[in-house]
Amino acid sequence: MLCFTRQDLRVLQELGGLNPLRLANTNPRPERLRHLVIGSPEGVRDTINLLHVLRYADQATWSQLVTIPSSGILITPEQGEVFSLLRRDSQRLDQ
């Protein structure tokens, strides 16, 4: 990907008349990702609040808290999907 900080006609001519506007993402729909936050109710709420403060995700877009049954949960991905898991200890906000 090319990034222009200012439009320099000489550089554009050297690149074959490249139009910087054409470098934008041509995918009309962004990919939908699913996020799971699993932990204590307090830890999940704190994480949702933090992601809201960081302007990553509005609190209203999260589902209600769901209790995980003793049988566990099953995640069924779509064909070709992958996942990555991040495990970390939370830092208490009241410290």
Flag whether pLDDT at 55 surpasses 90. Answer: yes
C-beta separation of 46 from 93 below 8 A: yes
Which residue would you say has higher pLDDT here, 65 or 12? 65
Q: Find the mean pLDDT for residues 20-26.
A: 55
Which residue would you say has higher pLDDT here, 24 or 62? 62
pLDDT of residue 77: 85
pLDDT of residue 11: 56
pLDDT of residue 21: 53
Q: Cα separation of 48 and 46, whole Å?
A: 6
CA 77 from centre of chain? 17
pLDDT of residue 1: 42
In this structure, the number of other CB atoms found within 10 A of the CB of residue 89 comes to 6
Is residue 7 very low, low, confident or very high in pLDDT (cuts 50, 70, 90)? low
